[in-house]
Structure 1
Amino acid sequence: MASKVSYQNISIKYGIFVGIAHMAFFLIMWAAGLTDVVELSFLSGIFLVIGIIMAISSYKRAKNGMIEYFKGLGIGATVGVVSSVLLALFLMLFVNLAAPDYLESLQASALFPESLSKLSLFVITIIYGTVPGLWIAFIAMQWFKRPDHTMPEQV
């Protein structure tokens, strides 16, 4: 019986893992009193890189080494979307329940506008995860693509 593996299921699974890692990293930063250093939060991009590479690798293994290029890009974009939506939802809960002053510290940062609202924080968080997810997948697919995806010989 052949197992049906979809890139969507693998992407969602690893997106959830990456989202949990983002939230754990944020909570560690909060516990250490480092949430005012907004630049540190960009280190969690490492989790996105690792998650996308693991997802693409897992899908390629499940498909016996054959992966379509656009499915690899889809994996990266989906991992990025799922993880960043989870982080955005978490940040909304965090700002509303635990630390309403966190939004003010972001507004004071040079990385965000002074008029930053909860809605714009939600949208920016999703964009900051989705766009890099696609780029990371594009770069990773240079290693994961099928062997027959090569440049044609020049005449």
Structure 2
Amino acid sequence: MEKIGLKYGLLTAIGLAVYFVLMRLVGLSHIIELRFLNGIIMAIGVTMAIRAYKIKVRGNIGYFSGFGVGAITAIVGTTLFAALMLLYIKLGGGSLIETLSAERYFGERVQSTPGIVVFSVLMLEGVISGVMIAFIAMQYFKQKDHKVPNSP
């Protein structure tokens, strides 16, 4: 279970990093609304991890074990991506701090240090969305035949 979560977490982080680099090259990294696609990348990574786990256990997936695979994938992917973003900010991407901290997630503007911005914006956003995606995906994957219960 942990191996699958780590593998797909790494792949998710790579997907997020590639998307960020593409947005940076095109000059669109300052548009906060495009971060919505980060959620889609996270959803793909989490559902692929749960699907791979279901295949590994031959369809006998427990709800909490499948949810755990999804949560591990989200945590690993978000942590690796946040570490890459922290490295990027430290190496000269200071404008990203201004973009992220200008959104006022916590009311008034917080002190714009790289650690606070990365934790409060990227980590919380990524982990919370990833866990929610795992919860939603497990509503589908928990059933063997994917039929509505008590239906003909």
Q: Tell me which interval the TM-score lies in, with the shorter structure as reference length.
A: 0.7 to 0.9
Give the equivalent residue in structure 2 for 1:40: 34
Secondary structure at the aligned position of 1:64 is classed as coil
Does residue 75 of structure 1 match 2:72? no
Give the residue type in structure 2 aligned to 1:99: G
Give the equivalent residue in structure 2 for 1:64: 58
Give deviations 1:117-153, integer Å, cap 9, x for gaps: 21122212122111111111111111111449x9997
RMSD: 2.2
Give the equivalent residue in structure 2 for 1:121: 117
- Specify which of 125, 128, 131 is matched with residue 131 of structure 1: 128
The structure with the larger Rg is 1
**Percent sequence identity over matched residues?**
36
Give the residue type in structure 2 aligned to 1:133: G
Distance (Å, rounded) in 1 between the aligned partners of 2:143 and 2:52: 14
Q: Offset of 1:15 from its aligned partner? A: 0.4
Distance (Å, rounded) in 2 between the aligned partners of 1:151 and 1:33: 46
Note if contact 2:59-2:144 (Cα within 8 Å) is conserved in structure 1.
Answer: no
Note if contact 2:100-2:117 (Cα within 8 Å) is conserved in structure 1.
Answer: no
Give the residue type in structure 2 aligned to 1:117: T
Give deviations 1:6-30, integer Å, cap 9, x for gaps: x111011000000011011111111
Distance (Å, rounded) in 2 between the aligned partners of 1:85 and 1:109: 21
Note if contact 1:88-1:126 (Cα within 8 Å) is conserved in structure 2.
Answer: yes
Q: Which runs of 4+ in 1 moved over 6 A?
A: 150-153
| Structure 2 residue ranges without an equivalent (≥5) | none
Give deviations 1:86-140, integer Å, cap 9, x for gaps: 1111111111103222212223335576323211222121221111111111111
Give deviations 1:64-84, integer Å, cap 9, x for gaps: 111010011111111111011
Shift in alpha-carbon separation, 1:141–1:46, aligned structure 2, 3 A:
same
Shift in alpha-carbon separation, 1:62–1:104, aligned structure 2, 3 A:
same
**TM-score, normalised with respect to structure 2:** 0.86
